[in-house]
Chain A
Amino acid sequence: MVKLALELLASCAGCEVSILDLHEDLIDVLEQAELVYAPILMDVKEIPEDIDIAIVSGSVRNEENKERLEEIREKAKTVIAYGTCACYGGITCMADLYSPEDVSARSFSDNPSTESSEQPSEVVPKLLPIVHPAGDMAEIDYYIPGCPPKENLIKDVLVPLIAGEIPEIPKKSVCADCNRTMEHIEFDKIHRRIEGEPDQEKCFLSQGYVCLGSVTLGRCGALCSAAGVPCHGCGGPSMDILREPSHDVYNCVINRIAHISKMPHKDVEKQLYDIGHIVYGFVIGSTIMEDKKVSLIPQLIKK
């Protein structure tokens, strides 16, 4: 029996819920693997030795997260960074848009419903000055981004791994699964996502709405565009961006809008109203993304 562990770091637990979303298939997976450690589901308090596969979700926000990650790395043969937080930092890393002092103040000393207080400091673990993806803090064997990854992925990955095989999973962008039709339209204004009524048959970018489908790794089935909202980029960067040093989420999306609309690049850049949240929102904590020469992340984060 393969020994399986689940560890959640600074995360929302959506990744763990996505595993439970195997529903009836969960019983099959649990017949092939023995769950030896998973605090969200079971009472084993210490990370056991000799884990075969550890599935780690979340980012590294505090010292306790860091220690847990290091310990599970030491004790597991294979570590999977599961979910966009573990791979690229995810939304939690948006905290890096502000200084740690400002973030703390907003919760504890400058908050309309709170008696102004010092930040808690007894018993609780110290926070690191910036948030990190788990994948930047430890050696990772497999990255499975997605917010959360689609439930079938865990099956497509775990079942082969349990059998000792290397899993093969799709590498296309979100656009590949999107049913909307793309057109070249000469528009000169980027719309806020709340403005107007988007045509539900046409590509959002073609209508002047910022949609990250073309720069985002797919596997989600383009669910958001099918539900009438543009892609938010929660699956993390596309393979093209990961492979090409000169490609970045920001410059690729600008190029794409300029290409579709015939707007000059500088106009597109001028009209993008919020890069931190809508372009880099899910990857702002990633050193892989930050270290690209074309990346704007270094200008955005406050260390």
Chain B
Amino acid sequence: MKQIEISPISRIEGHAKITVQMDDAGNVSDAHFHVMEIRGFEKFLEGAAIEEAPRITPRICGVCQTAHHIVSAKATDAVFGLQPPETAQKLRELTLLGQYIHSHSLHFYFLGAPDLILGPDSDPAERNVVGLIKKNPDLAKMAIKTRKIGQEITSVVGGKPIHPVTSIPGGQSKPLTSEERDGLLPKVKEGIGLVESGLEVAKPLFEQYADAIETLGPIETHFGSLTNGGALEFYNGPMKMIDKDGNSVSEFDPSNYLDHIEEKVQPWSYMKFPFMKQLGFPEGNYRVGPLARINIADSIPTERASALYGEFKDKYGMAQNPLLYHYARLIELMYSVEKAVELLEDDAIIGTNIRTALSEPLMSTDDAKNSDKRMRGVGVIEAPRGTLFHDYETDGAGIIQRANLIVATGQNNLSMDIGVRETAKAMIKGDEVSEGLKNRLEMIIRAYDPCLSCATHMINGDSPLVVDIHDSEGILVKRQII
């Protein structure tokens, strides 16, 4: 028995490793994708005032912070039964598009593309964004410019480029001024050309790597995403599940997610494994994210992304292979830029009616302790990596009593695990495992753009021995944990 370990999996967000078990004959007997961290947001939200949730939860993830910020605000709306004004909804949607532009371009250009442009077998010391800058500085500059557009939207509309703050219960804290809109619009319009140039580089890669698309992490699963009457949708709408052939399995109000989705714990990973309740585990495995959304959508409501969608469908139909997540991500990148232009050109975006106030005063925290009043709100959106659920229950004063989060990446956990195992079995024979082959296993994981900070919520260790060193004043100068 021999074990191959790939640790840390690099060019992903968070800590994970792959283990591959070999039998004495040199064949793979088992392999797993392990997520190595957990932080416990669900618990430590308890006791916080509900209005703090949209400011605490972005710290789950610094790549998709805006998605957490907005879904959290949506959940707080639901707790108080507030309907944000139209302008506020549009501002949130615009901020979310800023999130997509940043996250999708970050993932494709900075994390994923080095495998495709420099090659899976290229020198691992060069196979990264710095190598990309050296090899193709124009492409690297274009990547930087594209991502910058997303960060500028988030910064102007969300207040900060990382961990935005403007989505609050009932709406937004700050309107978009016409000067701000006029400053953003030409920059975002420029993004259309930038994404087009990116596609010129990217599209041939999918031809070049047609074999890898077939062989890396192949799997057939159900898919799930929000939908807007069949159109691609990130912010609202019922959740739709389809089977591996594309047939609709269910469509439901995502705030009833507990009737449809369950999570399993495996002893070797801190990330849980969600599955469709009615089919059980593992038959109910489903995937989310760009590929799921493109598979589920029967149209994209912007011109260029719609044309790309048509090409993709003609070529791949109901797409299952993980590497096609990259392609779907680029289609969504185009949609996000086009849709952001559309929202910025709509005068409703600079409206000043941006918040619906509480309809009745909050109960005091003392009164709440003696009352059994409970409020609950579920927020659901499509984050860049897939469907994201925040579910809060509060007392009468709006102090959080319970929180449950199901993040996008978790829903791809089982597919990543199976993909790594099956590919390892097919590709690894004998003791010699090249660096390039190990990297191909990582490429499966990378294709899903996993966000492991998101996926991991905390825990206990053994009591350590603590040695405190105090100075002569009694002030602690050093604490050593042994």
Contacts and interface: CB of A to CB of B under 8 A. Distances in A.
Contacts of A20: 106, 110, 147
B51 A192 contact: yes
B37 A10 contact: yes
Interface in A62-121: 62-64, 66, 90-92, 94-95, 97-98, 100-104, 106-108, 111-115, 117-121
A100 B160 contact: no
A229 B47 contact: no
Interface stretch (A219-227, A236-244, A253-261): A219-227
Interface in B164-182: 165-166, 168-170, 173-174
B36 A107 contact: no
Q: Which of B56, B111, B166, B265 has the most CB of A within 10 A?
A: B265
Nearest to A288: B476
Contacts of B35: 124
Contact of B159 (A63, A103, A120, A223): A223
B8 interface: yes
A228 B361 CA distance: 21
B130 A42 contact: yes
A192 B263 CA distance: 35
Given A43-B11, A43-B439, A64-B36, A287 B476 contact: yes
Interface string B13-38: 11101010000000000001011111
B91 to A, nearest CB: 12
A11 interface: yes
A12 B64 CA distance: 9
A36 to B, nearest CB: 8
Contacts of A41: 10-11, 110-111, 128-130
A21 B263 contact: no
Contacts of B158: 227
A167 interface: no
Nearest to A193: B51
Contact of B163 (A14, A129, A273): A14
B251 interface: no
A264 interface: no
Given A103-B43, A113-B263, A194-B362, A227 B165 contact: yes
A63 B482 CA distance: 11
Contacts of A107: 38, 40, 42-43, 272, 457-459
Contacts of A106: 40, 42-43, 46, 457
Given A12-B65, A106-B43, A291-B476, A232 B55 contact: yes
A44 B125 contact: yes
A291 B470 CA distance: 11
B59 A12 contact: yes
Interface string B452-482: 0100011111111000000000011001010
A123 interface: yes
B49 interface: yes
A277 B263 contact: no
Interface stretch (B220-228, B338-346, B398-406): B398-406
B47 to A, nearest CB: 6
B89 to A, nearest CB: 17
Nearest to B137: A27
Contact of A273 (B127, B174, B365): B365
A228 B145 CA distance: 28
Interface string B140-165: 11001101100100000011111101
A61 interface: yes
B163 A40 contact: no
Contact of A128 (B169, B270, B272, B464): B464
Interface stretch (B231-239, B254-262, B285-293): B254-262
A127 B165 CA distance: 31
15 contacts: A17-B62, A23-B147, A23-B151, A30-B133, A40-B11, A98-B44, A111-B42, A115-B263, A117-B265, A120-B270, A122-B268, A129-B463, A220-B160, A224-B159, A229-B165
Interface of B: 6-8, 10-15, 17, 19, 32, 34-40, 42-44, 46-52, 55-56, 58-63, 65, 106, 110-111, 124-125, 127-130, 133, 137, 140-141, 144-145, 147-148, 151, 158-163, 165-166, 168-170, 173-174, 257-258, 261-270, 272, 274, 355, 357-358, 361-362, 365, 391, 397-399, 402, 404, 406, 439, 442, 453, 457-464, 475-476, 479, 481
Interface of A: 10-18, 20-21, 23-24, 26-27, 30, 35, 38-45, 61-64, 66, 90-92, 94-95, 97-98, 100-104, 106-108, 111-115, 117-129, 132, 136-137, 147-148, 151, 192-197, 200, 220, 223-224, 226-229, 232, 234, 245, 273-274, 276-278, 281, 287, 291
6 shortest A-B CB distances, which residue pairs? Answer: A14-B62, A227-B159, A100-B460, A228-B173, A117-B265, A42-B128
Given A40-B111, A106-B457, 12 more contacts: A27-B141, A39-B11, A40-B12, A44-B125, A61-B37, A107-B38, A115-B262, A121-B267, A127-B459, A224-B159, A274-B47, A277-B49
